[in-house]
Amino acid sequence: MAILPILEYPDPRLKRIARPVTEFTPEIQRRVADMAETMYAAPGIGLAATQVDDHRRIIVIDVSPDKSDLKVFINPELIEADGEIVGEEGCLSVPQVFDRVRRAAHIRVRAQDATGKPFELEATELLAVCIQHEMDHLMGIVFVDHLSQLKQMRVRNRMNKRHREAQRA
- Residues sharing a CB contact under 8 Å with residue 87, sequence separation 6 or more, in sequence order: 100, 101, 103, 126, 129
Closest to Ni ion by CB, 39 or 114: 39
Interacting positions 75-114 with Ni ion (CB under 5 A) = 91
134 is catalytic: yes
Classify residue 17 as exposed, middle or buried by CB count within 10 Å of its CB (0-12, 13-18, 19+).
Answer: exposed
Output the residue with the shortest Cβ distance to Ni ion.
Answer: 91
Interacting positions 4-63 with Ni ion (CB under 5 A) = none
Among 37, 63, 130, 149, smallest CA distance to 91 is for: 130
The span from the CA of 138 to the CA of 16, in Å, is: 8
Interacting positions 127-166 with Ni ion (CB under 5 A) = none
Pairing outcome for strands 118-124 and 85-91: unpaired
- Mapping DSSP to helix (H, G, I), strand (E, B) and coil, where does residue 87 land? strand
CB of 91 to Ni ion, least distance (A): 3
CB of 92 to Ni ion, least distance (A): 6
| Candidate list 80, 120, 125, 134, residue with the active-site label | 134
Closest to Ni ion by CB, 32 or 91: 91
CB of 160 to Ni ion, least distance (A): 19
CB of 147 to Ni ion, least distance (A): 13
The residues carrying an active-site annotation are 134
Query: Where do contacts with Ni ion occur on this chain (CB under 5 A)?
Result: 91
